[in-house]
Amino acid sequence: MSIEEIFERYVESKIFKDREKLLPDYVPEELPHRDEQILKLASILAPALRGSRPSNVFIYGLTGTGKTAVTKYVLRKMKEKAPQTVEYAYINCRQNNTSYRVLAELAKHVGVKIPFTGLALGEVMKRLLQGLERRRYVLIVVLDEIDNLVKRQGDDVLYFLTRVNENLSSSKVSLIGITNDLKFTEFLDARVKSSLGEEELVFPPYSAAQLEDILRRRAKEALHEGVVDDEVLRRVAAIAARQNSDCRLALDILLKAADIADREGASRITLEHVEKARNEIEKNLAVDIIKTMPLHVKLVLASIYLLSRSDSARMITTGLIYDKYKELVGKVGIEPVTSRRVSDIINELDMTGIINAKVISLGRYGRTKVVSLGVPARNVEEGLMSDLILRSLIENMEE
DNA sequence: AATCCACAGGAAGTGCTGGGCG
DNA sequence: CGCCCAGCACTTCCTGTGGATT
């Protein structure tokens, strides 16, 4: 296929009308099945329109339940209504996962320049305060995936932000904390907890039927007519429903399936396209994470991988992993990290979902963690193989 | 009922990076 | 220039513990 043909095919796609409408950060004009949450959030935040400080809000809900979309949607509407008095700052705490970065990001919204490293935290807070004082508005700060911040750094920043109004006369600050960890508040200082949780909002998962409805509406915007039928939509909805009813995943699969169909030059999306899309998403997720892991993390993962294929009956425990890891490290000729560190690495891997780890007690034979792979072994292999050191290591072991 | 294994995982500290500020 | 800052990857030292075996 020539380059012209590829471009030509893309320009006059038989599948897409407007591909952007399926991208993850697109917020549609209507958010079906979230009316209750929209109205509640709007009524909580409404005082900002008159220039008074709304209550802080805490939003719970699993991934892909529309928390971020609803929040952005409501704030956008408010800003349209009162562009002079209302301002909002959306900060994702997964990307900005340190106290410093969150404050620096916030300062940027207020128009204060903060270098990305070097300053003392207290200094950043001072400058942020000065910046806020120069303004006259209600600033609504959205801290998305806030659990990432608190678990790693503690709640110092939150404490500062909940009390920031005491030091301000012209501007006001409200907080919206979003998390998908329902037990999150346990980590919080009591004062922060009560202040942040002035209002709470829970986002229940979508039902399969609701997912299907959302998909149908979105497909209408993004795809040409007749490209998907109900059977395909139902299938996508069913897959997502099994995964905690994650709507983002549902849209992701639909997009990928549409991409595959488009690339093949098909005129409709079939169940096979959906199946391929699902596999590809699953694979990419794992492979991408593995590729970017630091060396020792890869080595630990390689140990688990090798153990799981050598003796499938044997339970894989921390001690076994550490022995294998030392063996691998020896072959490469680098110094091993301590077992304490490996224990942390196993936990890190567990959090990504690439492995599953569970503490169990073997009675007399101690207390340990049993580990298993959380994704297909070939995906792990593919991820590890992209690293030259790991590649030669694994190929040697297989002989 | 007591013991004791094989770790789990907390606390504190080190050395390094990449940057301030005066 | 010298000193300070935050963050990260890691070490050192440590206390805690579920439950099969004695």
Q: Residue A344, CA: closest nucleotide via C1'?
A: B9
Strand ranges inside chain A, DSSP E: 57-61, 86-92, 138-144, 172-179, 199-203, 316-317, 355-361, 367-373
Q: Is the pLDDT confidence value at A394 over 70?
A: yes
Q: What's the average model confidence in pLDDT over A138-166? A: 90
What are the residues with a C-beta under 7 Å from any atom of nucleic chain B? Answer: A 115-119, 123, 317-320, 339-340, 343, 346-347, 359, 362-369
Cα separation values, A283 from A136, A138, A213, A277, Å: 49, 44, 27, 10
Span CA (A242) to C1' (C6), Å: 42
Given 3-state DSSP classes, what are the helix, strand and coil percentages for chain A, each rounded to the nearest 5?
A: 60, 15, 30
Stated in angstroms, how far is A369 CA from B2 C1'? 25
Whether the per-residue pLDDT at A381 is higher than 80: the answer is yes
SS3 call for A138: strand
pLDDT at position A8 is 76
Which residues neighbour strand C (beta carbon < 7 Å)? A 97-101, 117-122, 152-153, 294-297, 335-338, 340-341, 344-345, 361-364, 366-367
- pLDDT digits 0-9 by tens, A92-149: 999 998 999 999 999 998 989 999 899 999 999 999 999 999 888 999 999 999 988 8
pLDDT at A190: 83
Q: What is the pLDDT of residues A234-258, one digit of tens each?
A: 999 999 999 889 999 999 999 999 9
> Count of alpha carbons within 13 Å of A241, Cβ hemisphere only?
16
- Which phi-psi region, left, alpha or beta, contains residue A354 (left: φ > 0; alpha: ψ -120 to 50)? alpha
Q: Closest protein residue to B5 using CA and C1' atoms?
A: A366
**pTM given for the model:** 0.87
What domains sit in chain A, N to C, each tagged with a CATH number? 35-203 (3.40.50.300), 207-287 (1.10.8.60), 293-398 (1.10.10.10)
Q: Judge whether residue A229 has pLDDT over 90.
A: yes
Q: Which is more confidently placed, A150 or A299? A: A299
* Nucleotides of B strand lying within 7 Å of any protein CB atom: 3-11, 18-21
Are A228 and A269 within 8 A, CB to CB? yes
Instruction: Please report the pLDDT score of residue A383 as a whole number.
Output: 95
- Between the CA atoms of A344, A348, A353 and A356, what dihedral angle is there, to the nearest 10 degrees? 0
Strand C bases contacted by the protein (CB, 7 Å): 4-14, 16-21
With CA of A359 and C1' of each nucleotide, the nearest comes out as B8
List Cα–Cα distances, A78 to A46, A139, A177, A396, in angstroms: 8, 12, 18, 61
The integer distance in angstroms from the CA atom of A365 to the C1' atom of B14 is 34
Characterise A366 by phi-psi region: left (phi > 0), alpha (psi -120 to 50), beta (else): left
Q: Distance (Å) from CA A336 to C1' B16?
A: 18
Give CA separation, A86 vs A15, A80, A184, A311, A312, in Å.
40, 9, 29, 61, 59
Nucleotide nearest to A103 (CA to C1'): C6
Closest alpha carbon to C1' of C10, residue: A341
Find and give the residue nearest to C17, measured CA to C1': A367
Assess contact for A55 and A199: CB atoms under 8 A. Answer: yes
Average pLDDT, chain A: 92
Residue A99 CA distance to nucleotide B6 C1' (Å) = 37
Please say if the pLDDT value at position A41 is more than 90: yes
In tens, the pLDDT along A316-352 reads 999 999 999 999 999 999 999 999 999 999 999 999 9
Residue reference for tokens 């794992």? A286
DSSP class of A29:
S
pLDDT at res. A169: 87
The CA distance from A35 to A244, in Å, is 21
- Residue–nucleotide distance: A319 CA to B2 C1' (Å): 26
Q: What is the pLDDT of residue A399?
A: 58
